[in-house]
Every structure is written in structure tokens, then in C-alpha cells.
């Protein structure tokens, strides 16, 4: 039987393996119906409890991570945290952290981080995640791989049975050179068969990342069958810089839901 290939569409998009178990614990915070932003803030504030004075901290990108950056800035201002150095994962986060007075560095200056806090677009039961719909996936992955602990913060809407299960974008950062060629090669991979591959657009022009690259978004109707195989196949293609599959990376996932905070830890 012929292998189904991914579809290429012209409609623009807008948007180290190891075995482990997951231990979960819940902290009930029963309240009236909370907004999504309130849930995000709950998760972010809980994550900041992992930050101690004197630490080097990876500062994530996105609406949930922004609450964590705000909280770190507030605790520094009040004196509850001291001698923190932040390593931002995007220009946007750099600007936010700088405005809050958080001392900043790059991986060149601080190659070893104590903890990174960042959100995710999807989280599966094994704590593998999809990231990068905000366009910062490369810097996020570099910073989080350099961290001793990666604390992922989400609200319950991000939970999926399998990666790709939300039917929203799974991003791949690619070089600009011959980007249509690279997009077609990605779409032809049997490991992502059945998805739609779209070049992310910003108005009438391709979206450009902080690293001057483009993004191809893959849309799946059903979860990716083998995320590790897909990740390996994508990275084997010339022209691909990195992808939004963050596999075997999350140490702690903090999930804010209507019934409270749930903390899942990699064992």
C-alpha cells in the first residue's frame, strides 16, 4: 500500500531518549470559575517557587511565561529574591525582563543554568511537549537544554493524548534559502504522513524569527504516531534548523485547572 504523504497548502499559517514515570500531585485551589489568564498566572507563580536566590534562570517566551517573568521581577524588587541572572529565550522576553530590572545574560556568558521556566502549546501524558507557536522555539530549546531543571507551565487546555492532537501548529524553523524546497521535503517525510505543511506568514510576507529564519507549521488531524521518529527524520533534512518537539526535556510540569494546581514530575 502506498504511504500517504503530508499535504502542502498555500493557505498561510498564523500562528536524548530515556525511560521515566510521571508522579502527579494536586493542590486544590477551589474557586469560582477562573479565566485562562488567571490559570496561567497560578501555574507561573507556582513555577517561580523553584527559583532561589543566586540562581541563573532561563526565562521563557509566551503569554504564560510572561507571568513568571513578571513574578521574578516583583520578587527581586521586594528583596525576596536576590542575585538572580536571567537568560531570555527571545527578544520579546529580553525586553520584558529588562524593563523589570532583571539582570540578564546570554548562554555565551552563562552556559549552565539552574532552572528554566517556560510554557508549552501541547503536553502529552509522558510530559513531552510541543512548543514554538510563538516563534521562539530555537532559543527556547537551547536555553532549556542548558538548564538543570526545566519547569513547564500550562493551563489545562494544553493537555493532549498525543502530540499533534490539538490539530494546531507543530512548528519547524528552517533557513530562508530555498525554503519551498525544504517545505516540500518535510511534507514528503513518511514520519509526518497525513499532515498539512504551511509556511507561516506575517501579513503578505513570510514570518521571520529572531534568528532571521522562516517557520513551517505542520497540522495533524490525528496525533503523531511516533514523535521520536518524526523528530529524527525532520532534523536529518538539510535546511532544517530545529523543530517544536521538545522530547524527554521537561522535568516538572505545572498544570493549572479549574480544580486547582497539579504538579507532574519526571522520575
Catalytic residues: 140
Q: How far apart are CA 83 and CA 15, in angstroms?
A: 36
Q: What's the CA angle centered on 123, arms 118 and 125, to 5 degrees?
A: 135
Q: What is residue 19's three-state secondary structure?
A: coil
Q: What is residue 197's three-state secondary structure?
A: strand
End-to-end CA distance of the chain: 41
Q: How far apart are CA 83 and CA 98, in angstroms?
A: 15
Grid cell for residue 100: 523589570
Q: What are the backbone dihedrals phi and psi of residue 158, each rounded to the nearest 5 degrees, phi first?
A: -90, -5
Q: How far apart are CA 250 and CA 6, in angstroms?
A: 28
- Complete edge-to-edge strand list for the sheet that includes strand 129-130: 122-123, 129-130, 245-246
Tell me, what DSSP letter sits at residue 2?
P
Q: What is residue 189's three-state secondary structure?
A: coil
Grid cell for residue 108: 555565551
Residue 235 host element (H or E): helix 227-235
> Are 48 and 80 in contact, with CB atoms under 8 Å apart?
no
Q: How far apart are CA 68 and CA 156, in angstroms?
A: 17
Amino acid at each position: 500500500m502506498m504511504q500517504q504523504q503530508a499535504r502542502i497548502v498555500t493557505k498561510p499559517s498564523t500562528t536524548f531518549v530515556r525511560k521515566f514515570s510521571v508522579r502527579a500531585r494536586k493542590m486544590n485551589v477551589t474557586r469560582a470559575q477562573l479565566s485562562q489568564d488567571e490559570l496561567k498566572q497560578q501555574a507561573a507563580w507556582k513555577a517561580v517557587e523553584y527559583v532561589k536566590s543566586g540562581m541563573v534562570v532561563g526565562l521563557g517566551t509566551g503569554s504564560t511565561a510572561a507571568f513568571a517573568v513578571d513574578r521574578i521581577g516583583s520578587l527581586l524588587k521586594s528583596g525576596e529574591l536576590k542575585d538572580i541572572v536571567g537568560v531570555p529565550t527571545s527578544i520579546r522576553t529580553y525586553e520584558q525582563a529588562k524593563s523589570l530590572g532583571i539582570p540578564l545574560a546570554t548562554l555565551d556568558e552563562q552556559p549552565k543554568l539552574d532552572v528554566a521556566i517556560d510554557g508549552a502549546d501541547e503536553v502529552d501524558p509522558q510530559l513531552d511537549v510541543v512548543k514554538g507557536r510563538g516563534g521562539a522555539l530555537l532559543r527556547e530549546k537551547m536555553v532549556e537544554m542548558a538548564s538543570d531543571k526545566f519547569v513547564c507551565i500550562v493551563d489545562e487546555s494544553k493537555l493532549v493524548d498525543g502530540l499533534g492532537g490539538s490539530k494546531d501548529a507543530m512548528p519547524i524553523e528552517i533557513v530562508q534559502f530555498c525554503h519551498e524546497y525544504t517545505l516540500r521535503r518535510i511534507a514528503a517525510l513518511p514520519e509526518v504522513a497525513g499532515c498539512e505543511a504551511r509556511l507561516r506568514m506575517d501579513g503578505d510576507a513570510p514570518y521571520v524569527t529572531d534568528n532571521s529564519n522562516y517557520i513551517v507549521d505542520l497540522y495533524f488531524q490525528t496525533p503523531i504516531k511516533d514523535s521520536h521518529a518524526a523528530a529524527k527524520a525532520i532534523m536529518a533534512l538539510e535546511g532544517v534548523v530545529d523543530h517544536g518537539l521538545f522530547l524527554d526535556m521537561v522535568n516538572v510540569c505545572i498544570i493549572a485547572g479549574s480544580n486547582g494546581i497539579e504538579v507532574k514530575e519526571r522520575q
